[in-house]
Amino acid sequence: MTHNLNHIGLDKKASSELADKLNELLANYQIFYMNARGFHWNIKGDKFFELHLKFEELYNDSLIKIDEIAERILTLGFTPMHTYADYLELSKIKSAKNVSNGTDAIQEILKNYEVLLPLERELLEMAGDSNDEGTGALMSDYIREQEKLVWMYSAFLNN
């Protein structure tokens, strides 16, 4: 192993840049996760049962992704952020407070995907440029899943 490569054989500088961008994604996912929890807890109205379950699926999926992102940062040889102060400072997704209307919650989720998807696409491109198949595969999976969710949530809103 040369001195320019990390322990998995990737360029150290490129891996550092990927880890920084992954930390940004991690911060956004943490806020997204808390938003989904809040929607799950506070949802009211005629679509309560349907949306209560959908928001639970969303936050459970987000929790898995949060762990995968943090572990990928560690795999690259860096440290994942782990304080809410850091997450709040770095996240482009903002906290959604006291949202109980289903339409408002779905609109907020779609706004959050407008942050997550471009970040994931940027990471996919960065990963490709640095031959980081692990990060690329993760982002590719996330993008595919979330594009379908955007379609489904948009259809729910009749958009």
Contact between residue 116 and residue 32 where contact means Cβ atoms under 8 Å apart: yes
* pTM value > 0.85: yes
Instruction: Return the number of other C-beta atoms located less than 10 Å from residue 42's C-beta.
Output: 16
Q: The domain 12-156 belongs to what CATH superfamily?
A: Ferritin, core subunit, four-helix bundle (1.20.1260.10)
pLDDT digits (tens, 9 = 90+) for 28-76: 999 999 999 999 999 999 999 999 999 999 999 999 999 999 999 999 9
Residue with tokens 């690259």: 76
5: three-class secondary structure by DSSP: strand
Q: What is the pLDDT of residue 4?
A: 95
pLDDT digits (tens, 9 = 90+) for 63-110: 999 999 999 999 999 999 999 999 999 999 999 999 999 999 999 999
**Ranges of each domain in the chain:** 12-156
